[in-house]
Amino acid sequence: MKKKYSSVVLTLLAVLLILSGCAGESTSNSSSEGGSKTQINFMHWRGEDKAVLDEIIAEFEKENPDIAVEMTIYPSDQYMATAQRMLQEGSTGDVFASFPGAQFESLQSAGVFEDLSGEAFVSNFDENLISVGQLDGKQLALPYQLVFNMPIYNKAMFEELGLEVPKSWSEFQALCDTLLENGITPIAFPGADIGPNQFMNSMMMNNAPDEDIFAKLQSGEEKLTNEWWVKTLEDFQLLEEKGYIQENALGTNQDSAMQMVANEEAAMLATGSYHMASLIGLNPELELDLLAPITVEESEAVYEGINTATFMLAVNSNSEKKEQAKKFVEFLSQPEIASKYANETGQHLTVNDVNYESEVLKNTAYWIDERKTRFQPRFLITNAQVEDAVLSSIEDVLGGADPMDAAAAAQKIVDENRE
């Protein structure tokens, strides 16, 4: 009998231990709010900016001794999946960064954006560059970084070979031919990872100047088998067939492609301005600028490049520390803090009066207001399966498929995913 009771007690004890183990988590969460400081969490994907953000946070905490900021960083490819869960729960990401496009749409439908419209710090941003964070007249997020998703080129190499930035598709091909004649691969294309989703933007910007083209594709008004996309695929095919991109491009990742440009084996890197600082890090002698291929005749060209106002700062509507979170966003939007962030990370920002000190940033700042760029078309595809279909058709063509066949196969998937 005694044995029987002891076994019952042991079993109940085991159950209690399991339950108390579960309860322990919520206790440890709440402890972060304890003490004299209020701790807020800043969630984003820029692991490469951690060092400078640590310094900025230290300055913020010095100015605001009652607030502590901790950072949670997820790699950008996991950010979409992970961030949304965390934000809804509310304990992580009092301040968070969002991508524009599909993630912004999805997060706003989940109601995690606090309306920042009435906040004084909104005026610290260039109003022309923050519209991507607006919806129904409300400023839900403030894009912080301004990225140019178009090829980086070796300016010194161009000057040495007497090459000028091409203004038409025929000039671009002539430029590539000259580079090839000099034993240089014209474009390093990281086809194994980000190449297709970055280069598609500048390759299609003038083939389909209508900024609603992907909205129309998703609604059924446009098709990938129409001229604008088939021509884009034909242009990709030409780059591959003429050797303007390196051999086996679909097996090359971004690190290898960057190495090609850093070693001056290739003249252009088909990614974006966010890689300029890393390229300079690999080869400090490089002189860089940006260049988008104009795939039409000069007279037909509407756009000169691609921009993305991204790393959109927002305050979580589920947070219990919204005021402290807003203080941190306000701090980040101060020109001197933004300048520090811009110069140490090699990024252009959407904040007014930023003082760009690095040569690369100074030399390319003209793209912000002197050149006609359009918002990254890929981010205007709101259905992930449609986006995959579009990108797959590029991979298909680079793998040897006929552009029309690839476009038709992709259109089939678009049709399957039309809501």
Partner 1 sequence: MKISKSIYLFFIPGLILYSIFFLFPTLSALFYSFTNWDGFSPSYQFVGLDNYDRAFTGDSIFRKTIGNNLKFMLVVVVFQTIVALAFAVIVLKNTKTTIFLRALYFFPTILSSVSVAFIWSFIYDPSLGILNQLLELVGLGFLAQNWLGNANIAIYSLAITQVWFHAGQMLIIFVAGLQAIPQDLYEVAKIEGASKWQTFRKVTWPLLAPSATIVVAYTTIQSFKAFDLVFAMTRGGPNNSTEIIATYIYEVAFRGFQFGYASAISVIFMVIIAIITFLQFKALRSDRISY
User: Which residues make Cβ contacts (< 8 Å) with residue 181, sequence separation at least 6?
Assistant: none
- Residue 214 CB, shortest distance to partner 1, in Å, is 16
Q: Which is nearer to partner 1, 36 or 109 (CB)?
A: 109
Look at the block and give the residue holding tokens 């890393």: 278
Cα separations in angstroms, 50 against 57, 70, 71, 344, 355: 10, 11, 9, 11, 21
Q: Which is nearer to partner 1, 15 or 174 (CB)?
A: 15
Q: Which is nearer to partner 1, 117 or 385 (CB)?
A: 385
Strand ranges for 122-240 from DSSP E: 134-135, 138-139, 142-147, 152-154, 185-188
- Residue 266 CB, shortest distance to partner 1, in Å, is 12
- Residue 42 CB, shortest distance to partner 1, in Å, is 21
Q: Which is nearer to partner 1, 235 or 396 (CB)?
A: 396
* DSSP designation for 334: S
Rule CB under 8 A: choose which of 388, 404, 405, 408 binds partner 1.
Answer: 388
Backbone angles phi, psi at 212, to 5 degrees: -95, 15
- For the segment 189-248, give every residue that binds partner 1 (CB under 8 A): 191-193, 246-248
**Concatenated DSSP letters for 235-277?**
HHHHHHHTTSB-TTGGG--HHHHHHHHHTTSEEEESS-GGGHH
What is the three-class DSSP state of 6?
A: helix
Helical ranges in 70-168 per DSSP H: 76-89, 102-109, 155-160
**Contact, 188 vs 251, CB < 8 A?**
no
Distance of CA 135 to the CA centre of its chain: 20
Q: Which is nearer to partner 1, 48 or 297 (CB)?
A: 48
Q: In what order do the strands lie in the sheet with 266-269?
A: 185-188, 266-269, 152-154, 288-290
Rule CB under 8 A: choose which of 28, 36, 109, 299 binds partner 1.
Answer: 109
Q: Cα angle vertex 122, ends 119, 127, to 5°?
A: 145
Q: Which is nearer to partner 1, 88 or 352 (CB)?
A: 88
Q: Which is nearer to partner 1, 332 or 414 (CB)?
A: 414
State the first-to-last Cα distance of the chain, in angstroms, to the nearest integer: 66
Contact string (CB under 8 A) for partner 1, positions 77-96, x = contact: x--xx--x---x--------
405 is a site residue for partner 1 (CB under 8 A): no
Crossing angle for the helix pair 76-89 and 102-109, nearest 10 degrees? 10
302 is a site residue for partner 1 (CB under 8 A): no
Contact string (CB under 8 A) for partner 1, positions 348-387, x = contact: -----------------------------------xxx--
- For the segment 13-42, give every residue that binds partner 1 (CB under 8 A): 14-15, 18
Rule CB under 8 A: choose which of 106, 283, 352, 363 binds partner 1.
Answer: 106
Q: Which is nearer to partner 1, 312 or 338 (CB)?
A: 312
User: Which region, judged by CB under 8 A, interacts with partner 1, from 120-128, 250-258, 275-283, 329-337?
Assistant: 250-258
120 is a site residue for partner 1 (CB under 8 A): no
Which positions touch partner 1 (CB under 8 A)? 4, 7-8, 11-12, 14-15, 18, 77, 80-81, 84, 88, 102, 106, 109-110, 191-193, 246-253, 256, 383-385, 388, 392-393, 395-396, 398-399, 412-413, 416
